[in-house]
Structure formats: C-alpha cells, structure tokens
Structure 1
Amino acid sequence: MEASETLSTQSVSVTTPVSGVSALRQLHEGNAALPRALFVLFGFSSWSVLNALWLQLPNLYTSVPEGFQLATYMLAALSLTNLPPLLMSFLSSEQQSRLPYQQIIVGLIFSSSLLSFLLAAFWDSRVRIGGQEHSVALLLLVALSGVANNSTGVVFWPWTGKQAKEFTKWLGIGEGMSGLLPGALAVIQGAGSRRLLFSASAFFSCIGVFNAASLLAFVGLWRMETQGLLRENVEKGDDEIALASTEEEASTSRDSERLQTDSIPLLGVAVQESATARKGGPSLDALVALLREPSTWLCASQTWFALWAFGILQSVNSYATASYPRAATVLLWCTVLSYVMDPVGRAVVGLPGLRMERPQDIVLPIVVFTCSASVILAAAAMSPNAPLKDVPGGAALVILCNAVCAGLFGFVNTGVYLIGRHIFPEGTLERFNWNASAAVQLGSIIGAGFSLLFVVYLQLFDSE
C-alpha cells in the first residue's frame, strides 16, 4: 500500500509539470497566431478615436464655425489631456507596479468606444458664446478622447512589457492599425469629397464598434495572462526557462552596463572620467552621467518625434495642402497614407538589417524624419505658394513627406521599446517603458504649444 502511494506521488510530481509545459507548447505550436492577433486588435484602441477625428477633418472643416483653425483648437483641447499620463510617470516604481493595469486598460478601451458613439451624436452641435458660435461639444469630446487615448501609452506598453518579448512588436502593429483601419474607412467614405458614401456620424459609430471588439480582445488576453500563456519561452521546459531567463538577464545586464559606462549613447564617443573631473567638477559630472544614460536619448527621441507627429504636423498640414488643387483630397491622402505607413514602419522592425537593439540604431531615422517634417513645415509657411504648386502632381511631395514621417515614427516608436528590452534588466524595464511613454506625452504638449503660438496667436500661416 505504501509503495503504491509512493509510486502515485512520484507519478504526480513528474507528470504535472510535463502536462503544463505540454499545454503551453500546444498553444504556441497550434495557435501561435491567436495571441498575436489579439494583441493587434487590442492595440487598435490606443489612438483610434483621435485618429478618427483627424481623418474627418476634411469633412468637419466645412461644417464647423472654426473652419481651418479647427485642428489647432483640437490640439489646444488635447494639450492638457497629456498631463494626467505625464504625471503618472512620476509615480515611484513600487506605486507603478501596484497599479491594476488590467482594470485601467478595460476602462480606457470602454471609454474610447463610448466616446466614439457620443461623437457620432454630437460632433456638429454648436453653442453661441459672446455672439459667436463654437463647437463646444466637439471640443469637449476631443478633450475626453485625448484623456482616454493619451493614457493608453503609459499602461499598454508597461503591461505588454510583462509578457513575452515578441508581443511588443504586435502591440506596435496594433497601434498602427488604429490609423490604418479608420483611414481605409475614410477612403471608402470619400472623406473630403462633395459626395460622401456615409456621414461622419456613421464613421464615428463604426469606430465605436471597432473599439468594442478591441475590448473583447483584451479580455481574451487578460484570461491568457492569468493562465500563464503569454509569458516568455512557454514552449520550453521549466529548467530551460530558468536557464534561458538567467542567461538573458546576464546578457541584458552586461549590455546595459556597457552602454552606461563605456560610451555616450548614439554617438559612441568614449568618456574619460578623469577628463570630466578636470573640466567641470560635480555638476558637469552629473550632466555627463545623464547624457550617458541610454534612456535619456531614447526618451528624447520619443519626445522629438511626438512634438512633430502629434503637434506641429497636425496643425500645419491643412495649410501645407491648401494651395494645391483639390486641397481637401490632398489632405485626406496625407492622412490616409500616413496611417498606412505607421503600421508598416512598426511591422518591419526586427527584419534583417532593421534590427533595433542599440540607441545608435535610431540616428538615421531621426535625420530622415526631421528633413521630411521640415519640408511639410516649409510648404505650410510658403502657402498659398507651396512648392510645386503649379506642377502637375506637385502635391505628391507633401503627401510623400507625410508618409515618410509616419512610417519612421512607427518604426522608431516601436523600436525604442524593443531597444529597452535589449539593454535594460527586468527590474528597470517597466520604469523605462513608463518614461518612454511619458516622453511621447511631453512631445505632444510641446507640439501643441507651438501650434497655439505660431498658428493661432501669431497667425504665421495662411491658407488663401
């Protein structure tokens, strides 16, 4: 009897972990596409409502009292909505780790769906203030949508950072789809033309339905997480997992130490501590130490891209395209192709020759992005005499630059999080993801400030 019980106990102790690993292996071998697809659908909700609003601008311009200045008013309404997620980044690491990520994400996605339906009902409402009509309801819903969408970055990425590394890329692709799907819908609608296939209200309702699907996708991912199906190396045995984890942590620690002590990130220039001490003392030492942090450069790149993509370009694009024939159609294609290129840029991260593992890898994309963005800004400043205005197909220059900017933004934005997973150890990765997401919000605020100063107050741009 005792021998039988011993044998039974041994059988349980041996077969239990094997059956668990077997189930995980079957998930990856038989249904590998399922969690990836759910991450893409989950990521769609990140910027979906705001992207939908920008896509409807060609239709809204002719229906709201603000006219071409609507984009700048929207940016003004959105500027303060970046503050809540930005302030959340100042929480301590312990406080951040205690946040109920799953519940917050559910609330944000639900809010995005609800706000989409409210936009469908009230986007064209007007209120007379001081003898002039204003789109108060629209701008209020824009602000609330900004809170919902801008907050996704500081919870979506840290939560995904807790899962297997491969899902970082798929979340990025999902974020890109938040522009691509609404963009395709806007093309079908005929946004910017005189004959719309369906109204702006129907468009916003469709976005609400898509967000409801995103909510269901995340609920599915949440369930997978509780079952341990999203963790790294699930196809390996327990001993292999422990060994792989130890080796990866050691490699990550070595890479992080090398990047932080041997060279200034991006430039790769050796820093001699003795020379620093001779030149400037403690204050200069602190500055050099800050510049040597990989996170400093990575977060700075996030801010730089965001202040252009979410601020300057969105406010000046209507002026950059205004002097071309069929300006509304040109503006629409600038937006649509941008939303096409964003997920493309995210999808190619990690392909041969396009791996993002070091801060130096983002230098060339930054240069090309800045040059393309400068062309768009110059076209807006030169309006109504934009470059190639009288040349057939001249508007393609502005459209192409918008597409390049969007593709590189998606490429670098996703790449920054992947670089973080390569160079930061597990204990500091979540904090880095928070800071990188907050840097995007900071860039958006700076970009909105530019728009208010130069577009509304100084009125440096002219559409006529």
Structure 2
Amino acid sequence: MALLVHMLACAFGLGSWVAVNGLWVELPLIVNTLPEGWELPSYLTVIIQLANLGPLLVTLMHKLCPGRLKEQVVIYSILSIGILSCILLAFFWDRTMIVAGALHSTAFFIITFFLSLVDCTSSVTFLPFMMQLPAKYITTYYIGEGLSGFIPGVAALAQGVGIAKCVNSSQTGGNHTGENVWSLHTEYLPPNFSTEVFFFFLAAMMCLSLAAFVALNRLPRTFELSTENLVPDAVASVSSGLDNPGAETDGEAVKCQGQGEGEAQSRPLLSASKHSVYQLMFIYFLVVWVNTATNGLLPSVQTYSCMPYGNLAYHLSAALASVANPVACTIAMFFQNRSLVFLGVLTVLGTGFGSYNMAMAAMSPCPLFHGTAVGQVIIVLSWLSFTGTLSYVKVMVGVILRDRSHSALVWCGAATQIGSLVGSVTMFPLVNVYRLFKSGDFCNTKCPLRY
C-alpha cells in the first residue's frame, strides 16, 4: 500500500506544471510557425503572470467563505480544464487572426492562458490536499512536481524540435543577364514527431495526474494515519498556503521552493532562525532579484540570445534548462548550504551567466562567436548554468524562510510574485513596443567575426 501511494503521489505531482513547462520546451518549433516569431516568449511571460488570477480567486473564496470551497472540487475542475486545453491546443495552436491590424496567434494565447491558469492554481490546491496524507508522501509529491519539468524536456530532446540546416537555392536573375543567382535559405528538418503529438502527450500526462488524484481521493483514510506519522499542525498551516496567494503562484519559483519545503515538512518546524534586519533584507532582495531574472527578464529574450546560433542551440537551451531546474531542486534537497555568503556568491555567479545571455540577446543577430560551434556550446552552457545556480538559490532561500516562521514564508511568496511581475512587465514593452532586440536569419545574416 505504501509503494502504491508513493507512485500515486508522484503521478499526481506530474500535473502541477507539466503544461507550462511543455510549452516552453516546444517553443523552438513553435516560434518558426506563429506570426509573433521571436517575440513569442515575451508574450508567454505576461500571460503566465495574468494567470495568477486563479490562485487569487481561490484565496479570496477561502477568506470570504471559509470552508465552502473544497480542494477536491477545484482540483477536479482544473485538471479537467488542463486536459481539455491540451487537446484543443493540439488542434488549434497554429490558428491566427488579425487583431489591431496585425496577425496574431489568438487561439494559442487564449488556450495558453487557461493552461497557465490550471498550473498556477495547482500551487494553492495540490499541496493542501497532499497534507491530508502522512508526511513522507509529500516528498514523493515534490519529486513528481520536479518531473513535470524533466519529462517534457526529455520528450522535446527526443522530438528534435526546430532543427534546421542552410540550403543553397538558385533563382533566375534580372531580364538582362538571365544568370542564376545563388542564395542560402533556412530549411527546417521535420521533427521525429509533430507538435500535435507533443500536445497530446501533455494531455496524457494530465490524464495520468487526474487518475492518480482520483485514486488518492478514494483511498481509505484509515491507512497509516497514526498521529506520529501525520504532518504537524504547524507545518500544515504553512502549506495550506491559502492565506497567501503570492507564496504559491509563481511557476518555476514555486517548483523549486516546494522542493526545499518538502524536506522541511517531514519534520517539525525548527525554532525560528536568528537573522538581523539587514540579513533579512538581503534574503528578500535575493528572492526578488532571482525571480525577476528567472521568471521575467531572461525568458523574454531567450530566442534572441540563442536563435542567432541556430535552432539547435535554442532547442538544447530550452530543453536542458527545463531539465536543470528539477535537477537543481533535487540536489538542494540532499546538499543544503544555508550560508548567506555562499548564496550571495551563487547569485552573483548566476547573474553573470544571465548577463552574458542578455548581452548576446542585445547583440542579436550578430552575437559573439556567431556561426561557430564554440558560440553554440557557450550559450547552451550559459543558459544551463544560469537556470541551475539560481534554482538552487530559490530552494535554499525558501528553506531558510520556511524554518523561520509562517509570516516569513508569506512575505517570501509576495517577494517572489513581485519579482516575477516586475521582470515580465519590464521586458514586454522593450521587446514588443520599442523593439530593442533584433531578429535575424541564421543562414543569411552576415556578421563580422567577434571574439
């Protein structure tokens, strides 16, 4: 029975962020089809922030009508919406229409909003439900939550999305000479399976999560429910999370923060950590800055930093960065370093990688080492290191504040949301209104050598 519950808890956690993670890793293929092109990631960051309306509504319902809204009902609803949205996305993701005089991917944006709504709302409903089970199953749930980013990333690698090559083509010149003019054009290789199949795969994962939830919800409440195995009430009150929409409403930050909390939830709360006012200010600064960078600033320009090196570089950066997040969370569960000096140094290091990525985006379409294998390797490793280092910082900051007090974790969630919002709102006009970042054609862009 224990093994079965562990498997169900893990499968249930898969449905937490699998849809949004799947969209990010599929972007290297989607950006070549939809009219927004390289600007598409900046739209996604704003849509995901707007989807935090879901957790806000759930929180207001719990505040205004205590006990009237049941987590089970909300979970059934959002998982069903998630399955339907993934299926609709498979059929309508490339449908466009003219809005304000320009062609836009309205169907993709609308369905993406509902997928983001599902995933954001899962953060304030899945965990409170899991708190009904013994504490050891919480960690298994977080493993499943981490896999919600890992599995789509592996699937995208297997799919080989957006791989392209440069092909010579000729066309007849002017009427006077009649000579053939040779030029290069980008030819995208067909993926191993289509975008539609990938979205159906996401729908299948959501179905697996729903089936696991149904099974967990029907388990007899008599199994293993001895008082010594239950999560302490104090910890449960933290994870109810419904007093604080901000603490649980951010995508990648929540995933990692949850990983750190999972270990803490297997034991009683530690006595409040002793930090000075300046140390607390530094900790919350880390929370704001890390989430500003990872959830707003850099994702908005990932296409501009990677696509000049070719679709393969973008494909690997998107997929491996998605894998790096749960890996960093897992490492933080077993190798914890709460030193503020260490976390500060790690933040500076991660910011350095992010600065390189931002600089390459600003130099698009002619970044450093353009057209070389060295440039491709560096940009992929830089994105991988950026995601991994700052994900570890998210976990450890969450653990520190989690062990301090409930209110500290509440403010951590608020800082997380503020950082994410500031990052996405800052980048959207820079990318889509002022167009400070320039796109280019990998095959036809002529760039001077930059080393």
TM bucket normalised to smaller: 0.7 to 0.9
Q: 1:456 to 1:110 in 2, by over 3 A?
A: same
TM alignment of 1:266-285, pairs within 5 A: 267=279
In 2, Cα distance between equivalents of 1:74 and 1:205: 20
Please name the residue that 2:421 is paired with: 445
In 1, Cα distance between equivalents of 2:394 and 2:331: 12
Q: 1:40 to 1:397 in 2, by over 3 A?
A: farther
The DSSP-based 3-state class of the residue aligned with 2:373 is: coil
Residues 1:320 and 2:320 aligned together: no
Please name the residue that 1:375 is paired with: 356
Give the deviation of 1:120 after TM superposition: 0.4
Deviates more, 1:389-398 or 1:376-385: 389-398
Using the size of structure 1 for normalisation, the TM-score is: 0.72
In 2, Cα distance between equivalents of 1:175 and 1:371: 28
Residues 1:209 and 2:204 aligned together: yes
Query: Match for 1:393 among 369, 374, 383?
Result: 374
Task: Tell me which amino acid in the other structure corresponds to 2:299.
Answer: Q
Please name the residue that 1:132 is paired with: 102
Task: Tell me which amino acid in the other structure corresponds to 1:446.
Answer: V
Query: Match for 1:105 among 66, 75, 78?
Result: 75
Give the deviation of 1:220 after TM superposition: 3.1
The DSSP-based 3-state class of the residue aligned with 1:348 is: helix
Q: 1:167 to 1:409 in 2, by over 3 A?
A: farther
Please name the residue that 2:145 is paired with: 175
Give the deviation of 1:364 after TM superposition: 4.1
The DSSP-based 3-state class of the residue aligned with 2:103 is: strand
In 1, Cα distance between equivalents of 2:203 and 2:29: 19
In 2, Cα distance between equivalents of 1:225 and 1:436: 36
In 1, Cα distance between equivalents of 2:403 and 2:142: 17
1:190-234 per-residue CA deviation (whole Å, 9 max, x = no partner) reads 210211222111110110011110112223333458346478843
Give the deviation of 1:40 after TM superposition: 2.7
Q: 1:458 to 1:132 in 2, by over 3 A?
A: closer
Please name the residue that 2:431 is paired with: 455
In 1, Cα distance between equivalents of 2:226 and 2:410: 20
In 1, Cα distance between equivalents of 2:95 and 2:397: 41
Q: 1:160 to 1:419 in 2, by over 3 A?
A: farther
Query: Match for 1:406 among 372, 387, 395?
Result: 387
Please name the residue that 1:280 is paired with: none
Residues 1:304 and 2:289 aligned together: yes
Q: 1:252 to 1:177 in 2, by over 3 A?
A: closer
In 2, Cα distance between equivalents of 1:331 and 1:253: 43
TM alignment of 1:323-342, pairs within 5 A: 323-324=308-309, 327-342=310-325
In 2, Cα distance between equivalents of 1:438 and 1:110: 29
Residues 1:349 and 2:332 aligned together: yes
Q: 1:99 to 1:380 in 2, by over 3 A?
A: same
* 1:112 and 1:211 in contact (8 A); partners too: yes
In 2, Cα distance between equivalents of 1:117 and 1:111: 10
The DSSP-based 3-state class of the residue aligned with 2:358 is: helix
TM alignment of 1:40-79, pairs within 5 A: 40-79=10-49
Please name the residue that 1:37 is paired with: 7
TM alignment of 1:84-103, pairs within 5 A: 84-86=54-56, 99-103=69-73
Q: 1:214 to 1:381 in 2, by over 3 A?
A: same
1:96-143 per-residue CA deviation (whole Å, 9 max, x = no partner) reads 787522332232222222111110011011213355322111111111
In 2, Cα distance between equivalents of 1:166 and 1:422: 18
Query: Match for 1:234 among 220, 229, 237?
Result: 229
Deviates more, 1:450-459 or 1:413-422: 413-422
Please name the residue that 1:18 is paired with: none
Give the deviation of 1:53 after TM superposition: 1.5
Give the deviation of 1:373 after TM superposition: 1.6
Please name the residue that 1:24 is paired with: none
Please name the residue that 1:263 is paired with: 276
Q: 1:419 to 1:113 in 2, by over 3 A?
A: farther
Give the deviation of 1:332 after TM superposition: 0.9
1:47-78 per-residue CA deviation (whole Å, 9 max, x = no partner) reads 21112212222222222222222222233333
* 2:402 and 2:409 in contact (8 A); partners too: no
In 1, Cα distance between equivalents of 2:342 and 2:59: 25
In 2, Cα distance between equivalents of 1:445 and 1:358: 28
Q: Which has the higher helix share?
A: 1
* 1:154 and 1:437 in contact (8 A); partners too: no
Using the size of structure 2 for normalisation, the TM-score is: 0.73
* 2:317 and 2:383 in contact (8 A); partners too: yes
In 2, Cα distance between equivalents of 1:420 and 1:219: 33
Q: 1:166 to 1:149 in 2, by over 3 A?
A: same
1:382-422 per-residue CA deviation (whole Å, 9 max, x = no partner) reads 22232332543322222112212332344344445544553
Q: Percent identity?
A: 27
Query: Match for 2:195 among 191, 200, 215?
Result: 200
In 2, Cα distance between equivalents of 1:337 and 1:394: 17
Please name the residue that 2:241 is paired with: none
Q: 1:376 to 1:98 in 2, by over 3 A?
A: farther
Q: 1:253 to 1:322 in 2, by over 3 A?
A: closer
Q: Which has the larger radius of gyration?
A: 1
Give the deviation of 1:317 after TM superposition: 0.7
* 2:75 and 2:126 in contact (8 A); partners too: yes
Residues 1:146 and 2:116 aligned together: yes
Give the deviation of 1:449 after TM superposition: 0.5
In 1, Cα distance between equivalents of 2:230 and 2:126: 25
State the Cα RMSD in Å: 3.4
